[in-house]
Structure 1
Amino acid sequence: MIVNRLFKMKKYFYISGILTLFVLMSFIYLDFFSSMTKVDYIDGSKTLKFTTKMNTNHISDAIKINPNTAGFEAEVKKYVNNNFDVYVNGSPKTLTFTGSQVSGETVWVYYETGGISDISTLRIKNTILLSAYPKQINLVNIAYKGKLKTMNFQRGKEVNEVSF
């Protein structure tokens, strides 16, 4: 009887140990795929200014270029231009890139579009890193005349629109 009870306890601890190991292993490699874009309306210049923050390794893998090479900045700008579209009141807007920088694990890209006197609707198509990373989530925070709106993008939801 004691031997039987010891065997059951040993079996219980063995199964508990394996389950604990599986749970711990699931947290060992947890990579989070996201980008964040901040959009600010500058009333004086009638401009929307965009700042996009991405993970350096993720964008580097997507565009297949080392972030320490001279051509990295140009390729990142081209990539963002091909994967981010803006429509103000139904009209497409051209994005002008104003700079970028690599700061360790983060790449910052700066761009803008001008000639915007009033926004009733803002539609954005954001496919940044969605083809490279299936679980990628892109957030866009928009500040317009004291109002703050947030959009999120993922596979299957690449286009979003807000009204002001």
Structure 2
Amino acid sequence: MKKHDSRHMLKSLLLGLVFWAGWGAAPAAAHSFFFGITDMAVNPGSKHIEIIHQFTAHDIENAIAKQRQTHFSPEHKNYEAWIRQLFEQGFSIREQQQALPLNWIGLEVVRGKIFVYQEGPAKNFLSGLVVKNTLLVDTYPEQINTLNYQDNDVSGSLTFTQLHKIAKIESNN
């Protein structure tokens, strides 16, 4: 084989590998599953409702960037404020047609996930509460949000989607 032919073959092989690697990495950069998990429980000591939301950070950031037409990342001066606003608008609890006030505890970003912490008023039970969860379901039609709940008498899960945004916690009895 001539020296020129081997260089040409090596160059073609390298270009092919670069193209293949780039093409193969593109699907890995995006994901096709959009989900959020919320855990809600009554603290046995304080009796307060404790809520922990977990979402993919870039899904939250992209939704806010799209909504506000700006670049949005952890370095943004309004990072926590805008995420707080998103959660306060998209997640609520009602009892007998009355909204329960949810206190914002804070958020943290850990390994590509955003954890949001909220706390509700003292309750001995979750049964009968109506939960609205519209977080990201209008931005990502494939978004599925799961709420896991537990107190001394009731435990279970609720699922929220673009078509199902409100659900009631029913007694296990």
Q: TM-score range, shorter-chain basis?
A: 0.7 to 0.9
Match of 1:153 in 2: 160
Look up the equivalent residue of 1:56 and give its one-letter code: A
Deviates more, 1:35-44 or 1:114-123: 114-123
Match of 2:146 in 1: 139
Contact 1:151-1:160 within 8 A present in 2 as well = yes
Structure 2 SS opposite 1:60: helix
Gap runs ≥5 in structure 1: 1-24
The equivalences for 1:57-136 within 5 A come to: 57-64=58-65, 65-136=72-143
Match of 1:39 in 2: 40
CA distance in 2, matches of 1:63, 1:48: 27
Q: How far does residue 90 in structure 1 lie from its aligned partner after superposition?
A: 4.3
Deviates more, 1:86-95 or 1:103-112: 86-95
Contact 1:130-1:154 within 8 A present in 2 as well = yes
Paired residues, what number? 138
Match of 2:4 in 1: none
Contact 2:130-2:168 within 8 A present in 1 as well = yes
Match of 2:7 in 1: none
Deviations 1:103-142 (A, max 9, x none): 1310000001113244431210000001110010000000
Contact 1:48-1:116 within 8 A present in 2 as well = yes
CA distance in 2, matches of 1:134, 1:148: 28
> Is the alpha carbon distance of 1:99 and 1:30 closer, same or farther for their aligned partners in structure 2, counting shifts above 3 Å?
closer
Q: How far does residue 70 in structure 1 lie from its aligned partner after superposition?
A: 3.3
Match of 2:10 in 1: none
| Greater strand proportion | 1
Deviations 1:53-98 (A, max 9, x none): 0111100011112133232111111100000010135432011010
CA distance in 2, matches of 1:156, 1:70: 34
Q: How far does residue 148 in structure 1 lie from its aligned partner after superposition?
A: 1.7
> Is the alpha carbon distance of 1:68 and 1:31 closer, same or farther for their aligned partners in structure 2, counting shifts above 3 Å?
farther
Look up the equivalent residue of 1:76 and give its one-letter code: I
CA distance in 2, matches of 1:163, 1:89: 14
Identity of aligned residues (%): 23
Runs of 4+ in 1 over 4 A off after TM superposition: none
Look up the equivalent residue of 2:98 and give its one-letter code: S
